[in-house]
Structure 1
């Protein structure tokens, strides 16, 4: 049974991810923000300042990929670097107000679309969907 569930989960999550990427690309045509950059911004908004090493581990990408993403986001004014107060040899990165506003604007479009789809579900379906989200997060964390 778990093999079938795993297969179905992989298929539906893959389909959902592809659809979100398609919508994202259509809504932000010409925007060169990468998914790693979006992941870094989102994580920093959610969790607060972090080291590039922790960001790479959290996003499950190489430290080089995070370093490139952070450099680009700093260049655009979306992030800033500052010394780690606990260890002056290390650097933390944090989101600027500009970065927070840019992320919010990007999320608004997809968020509105998803909210519209979810609103079309029955109350019972919305409750069930909400109850599954922590399980999906757990699976994502374990992959």
Structure 2
């Protein structure tokens, strides 16, 4: 069932598996403000629907032009919002850019330790493997 959609994102929720599917837009085309608004919307729906599993497809979300400070602030805000929910797992589908994936892995690993997140975040190369992980017994 589609919970929300606009020209940038679509939130599709499957109650039987308690998985919210989201594909993030290409940040180079929309800018940081719209990307942050999209992340805020995702966090709001996760809280409203008490979602436990998030499939976050960020394969198109290229942030090469975003400096490390702004990138960190955006992710910190998203993680802070998610800590207020009962989210348990995030399966993130990564980009094809090795440099971006390394940057993302270093930042999220540091933030998971600093913020003591209440959810597990794993990155995957494709949706099939990510869905399989989300549906595994915990």
| TM-score normalized by the length of structure 2 | 0.27
Larger relative contact order (C-alpha < 8 A, sep ≥ 6)?
Answer: 2
Specify the structure having the higher radius of gyration (Cα).
1
| Structure number having the greater helix percentage | 1
Higher-strand-fraction structure: 2
TM-score normalised to structure 1 length = 0.26
